[in-house]
Amino acid sequence: MLPEAFLLRMEQQLMDEYPAYLESLERPRAVALRFNPLKTHQFPQLPFVKEPIPWAEYGYYYAPDARPGLHVWHEAGLYYLQEASAMAPVTLLDPQPGEIICDLCAAPGGKTTQIAAKMAGQGLLVCNEINPKRARILSRNIERMGVSNALVLNHHPSDLERHFEGVFDKILVDAPCSGEGMFRKEEAAVTDWSPETVDMCARRQQEILSTAAKLLRPGGRLVYSTCTFAPAEDEGAISEFLKLHPEFSIEVVDAPALSPGRPDLIEEPVPGLEHTFRLWPHHQHGEGHYAAVLRKAGDEESTLTASKAEKLPKEWLEFAKALDIHLPDGKPILFGSSLFWAPVELPELKGLKVLRPGLELGECKKGRFEPAHALALWLGECASMQDYAPESDEIAAYLHGNVVTSGEKGWCLVTAGGLSIGWGKGDGRVLKNHYPKGLRR
């Protein structure tokens, strides 16, 4: 049962299309996944994967009765389960390798890892989440998807202004919202909704957008998105922002698979709102979303000052040489007791609440190096590997934390159908299991 006030407003918004919208809510919702090119460009043929999503590279619908989250390749980071409409904002952001990009409201990580895939490990991706628990989930998803160039932060967005003003080439603001587009997917979105919630979200969105305006360099691109139908949070939010920030304008982007924005839904709209985008469940095969592409006037370089590189410890150098591991452009950083490989552009971290400053390599322990799970998921191959069939008893045993048979000695990269999933340490007969205890089935 949807809230009466919501249905009344939707009837006024949609008019003749309102019956089609109600009918769409009765259909089974579309389920989708996005393949990860950081893992491989040779995506296997999976029987549950169906037609491609027209607005998202690497995005596909899958059979609603399938359980792809239980497949070992999900653990390997081959794909991310992501709602189809939620893939549109990153397509509009158009990330490029080498850019400095911020995902300001990043958890749980679907859009962050989509940005990372487009960046191909080059440049700096700052992903921030205000909620500590959700920030940890974000960090785990970045690890699972093999992202090497992400700085994961846990801050209120406004806290970042003194560290990153004028820094970013592109910013995604996937704003906290009233969640009306998720009513079919999430029951909590229905029970938590009220007209007062819509007003509260609209105020919070202006605060976040104001911060994003300061963080973006002149000439940079800002994409704003929500998963709600509420005009106050969509066209209304963009109209209000542009009135307060005349240095920004709506950028015209070609996206024929998406529906145009609706300036007629608000009072005194700014020009150009028809060039923003809506995704309706009765028009597109997905849930409800809104997105707008904005450009900041000017053309200036980023003001980011990178931190100095540290020295790689001999324990890592010996380990990397033995397994023939070659790292991309970057720099080492000691973070606590762990060694990370950070993007060249990584700034000074003092004053920041950091969960992950790049790719975790592992720890030096009494003259030896113990590799991190993140390194295994990032690696495509190394000198010592043991591959098992994805549906094999050995892979099932490995995911449970048991030893598995192998003739390898020393540290060994365990792969499932050619995709890395973790570490083992062999004695020539079996591999001692180093799959993280918190991930074991």
| Residues with active-site annotation | 227
- Write the DSSP string, 12-39: HHHGGGHHHHHHHHHSPPP-EEEE-TTT
Contacts of 257 (CB under 8 A, 6+ apart): 54, 55, 284
Using the structure block, give the residue that is written with the tokens 């150009």.
Answer: 272
CA distance 391 to 179: 38
> 216-226 and 277-279: which strand pairing?
unpaired
Report the 10 Å Cβ neighbour count for 179: 24
CB 427 within 8 A of CB 409: yes
Q: By C-alpha distance, which of 244, 298, 250, 295 is closest to 274? A: 250
Cα angle 58, 71, 379; round to 5: 65
> Burial code of 85-109, b = ≥16 C-beta within 10 A, e = fewer?
bbbbbbbbbebeeebbbbbbbbbbb
Place of tokens 């409409």: 85
Residues facing 437 on adjacent strands: none
Place of tokens 């560290």: 163
Non-local (6+) Cβ contacts of 378 within 8 A are 38, 146, 147, 148, 359
Contact in structure between 413 and 386 (CB atoms under 8 Å): yes
Distance (Å) of CA 206 to CA 28, 48, 106, 268, 438: 34, 41, 17, 17, 38
Taking the C-alpha atoms of residue 140 and residue 129, their distance in angstroms, rounded to an integer, is 13
Nearest 5°: the CA angle 127, 132, 133 is 105
